[in-house]
A and B are shown apart, each in its own frame.
Chain A
Amino acid sequence: MSFFGLIRLFIFPGVLFAVPAGWFFVWAEHKAVARIQRRIGPPLLQPFYDFIKLLGKRTPARTGVEAVLLKLYPVFSVLSLAGALALLPVFPHSAAGFSGDCVLLVALLEVPSICYILAGFTSGSIYGQIGAIREAVLSVANNVVLLLAIVTVAVTENTFRLTDLAGPTMNPGHWIGVLGILLCIPAKLRLNPFSTSSAEQEIYAGSLTEYAGAALGLWELAHALEWVALTGLVATLVLPAALPWFLYAPAFALVCLLQVLVLSAIAAGTARYTLQRSINFYWRWAGVLAVLAIGSAAAMRFHL
């Protein structure tokens, strides 16, 4: 791994930037929802306090193989998201990345969802199992759209290398792909109206019902990192890559924050869809759009 690779993994947009940024986005989401509901909302450091407090909880000891597995799932989620953040093509230059790293990014972004499903089944709680089934069904639906959207972006540029995909182009396929990714973010983050899998109060806490203490804190950290990774992916696709770093870094944070605010407004303004409706949305509407987008992108690319 090169020197720049290490900087990306540990500093920007890696762990050192992403953990505070993720907590800030989680706070911004709660604050925005609160302001829309005419409440005051949580203090700025709330996600930090929650994380520290959870580290200090004494959890009951579990036995058997599930004790190890239930601890490993949130660790895998956090690590894979840190990896995904390191792959994001911020400050793109020709030496960074490798051919096909876009495929690896999609795979790494999918790991937390898979861990969430497995955690629900491993916990043995009926609510965890319901949450896991809902997440599994929903992730099948929204991943089709996400993959097609990313492939649309890739086809317009004829590469799977993130450095070449970064930045805006005149090609409409690029923007339709970005729109497709944006459509998938609420389901990936389990936000309203696609919060069926975590459905607080309705199925307690979904897959995480049996989690407590530090492991739960890691799940919340993974959720915060997921915010940065997904909004960061969109930000890298729309921000001009040629900007100097002192303009690029604030612009990156600003575009991410803008997405957080828009997604929070949507979450505050909508009720929770049933699973059937969420699937209908992704398979019927977003899915059709994505197929049309990739079809037209391919037709333009190959001059059909």
Chain B
Amino acid sequence: MTIVDRLMHLARRKSPRIFHLNTGSCNGCDIELVTCLSPRYDVEQLGIHLEGSPRHADILCITGPVTRNTLDAVKTAYAQVCEPKAVVALGSCPASCNVFAGSPMIAGPLEKHIPVDVYVPGCPPHPDAIINGIAKASEILANRGVREEAKGKPQK
């Protein structure tokens, strides 16, 4: 890695902006995600910042079992997050559809539609687990950025 690559890797790891998308969740995971911003957990220490626009974000945090209504929103939001990006599935719902599995209204699980990098299991997951998941996703994102940039350069 050149020094520029190393700096970029560090910056990406230290500045994960997240966009939160609720795809028909019961709000349990959403409440736990917002708890992470509170004084008790304070994710801003890690540079994590909740963004209003998916274009400003690096990490897409998805809660809920992906209902048919929200499927288009999931795909749009995923496409709007600029590369390099990562996806975190919060809770059991996006992973397995949880208690909603088998419902005709559900288009999940999430990985049928977009690639998922980190699963945070739990119903709802503990805020510590969510923070750990986002931190892992930022590491994945930084490594992915370096790999993609190396692919773009001419091989020696």
Contact = CB atoms under 8 A, between A and B. Distances in A.
Interface in A21-60: 30, 34, 37-43, 45-46, 48-50, 52-53, 56-60
Given A49-B10, A49-B14, A53-B12, A211 B47 contact: no
Contacts of B45: 39-43
B140 to A, nearest CB: 15
Contacts of A50: 11, 15, 17, 47
A149 to B, nearest CB: 32
B128 interface: no
Q: How large is the interface on B (under 10, 10 to 19, 20 to 34, 35 or more residues)?
A: 20 to 34
Contacts, number: 87
A183 interface: no
B47 A46 contact: yes
B11 A211 contact: no
A43 B44 CA distance: 8
Contacts of A30: 44
A45 B44 CA distance: 12
Contact of A56 (B14, B47, B55, B145): B145
Contacts of A114: none
Interface in A141-194: none
A200 B8 contact: no
Given A41-B45, A49-B14, A58 B39 contact: no
Interface in B120-155: 145
Nearest to A56: B8
B51 interface: yes
Most buried by A among B8, B17, B44: B44
Given A211-B55, A211-B56, A213-B82, A49 B39 contact: no
Would you list the 9 A-B pairs with minimal beta carbon distance, nearest first?
A: A52-B11, A204-B52, A39-B42, A212-B55, A53-B11, A49-B14, A49-B15, A58-B83, A49-B11
30 contacts: A38-B39, A39-B44, A39-B45, A40-B42, A40-B44, A41-B45, A42-B45, A42-B47, A43-B45, A46-B14, A49-B10, A49-B14, A50-B11, A52-B7, A52-B15, A53-B15, A56-B8, A56-B11, A57-B58, A58-B83, A60-B82, A201-B50, A202-B52, A203-B52, A204-B52, A209-B55, A211-B55, A212-B82, A213-B82, A216-B55
Interface of A: 30, 34, 37-43, 45-46, 48-50, 52-53, 56-60, 127, 200-205, 208-213, 216
